[in-house]
Amino acid sequence: MDSEQRGSHRYPFSASAELTGSTSAAPTTAHTSNLGSNGCFLDTSNPLPKGTIISIQITHQGQVFAARGVVAHSHPNTGMGLKFIALESGCAAILETWLDEAALA
């Protein structure tokens, strides 16, 4: 596996995610396995190629976090690492709450 450079600590975090690629109108689903302030890892058997820009919505405990991101690394049949590049309005607070909760778990 490639050496991964992360700008923040990642915490185990399980939630459903819906992804829309920049060239695809049809959303796909994935599942998060970890989360940090700069990105997350998505478990999926069909990861997108490195460098793909996507929109993501993560749903957890009734809250929806939305952002744009770029695929930082991709592992066939396993998943992909996503770096957040722009958070939707109000989503920084949701992310901070989730990270605080995950840090205490």
pLDDT at 98: 97
pLDDT at 68: 97
Three-class secondary structure of residue 97 per DSSP: helix
Residue 3 covered by a domain: no
Number of domains in the chain: 1
Residue 1 covered by a domain: no
CB atoms within 10 A of CB 6: 14
Sign of CA dihedral 47, 12, 57, 30: positive
pLDDT at 105: 82
Residue 65 covered by a domain: yes
Range of the domain at 29: 11-104
Residue 94 covered by a domain: yes
pLDDT at 7: 61
d(CA 14, CA 90): 21
pLDDT at 5: 53
pLDDT in tens, 20-32: 987 666 788 999 9
pLDDT at 83: 97
Three-class secondary structure of residue 98 per DSSP: helix
pLDDT at 3: 41
CATH number at residue 19: 2.40.10.220
Residue 69 covered by a domain: yes
Residue 6 covered by a domain: no
Residue 75 has what DSSP assignment?
A: E
Low-confidence ranges of the chain (pLDDT < 50): 1-3
pLDDT at 1: 36
- As a whole number of angstroms, the longest Cα–Cα distance in the chain is 38
Residue 93 covered by a domain: yes
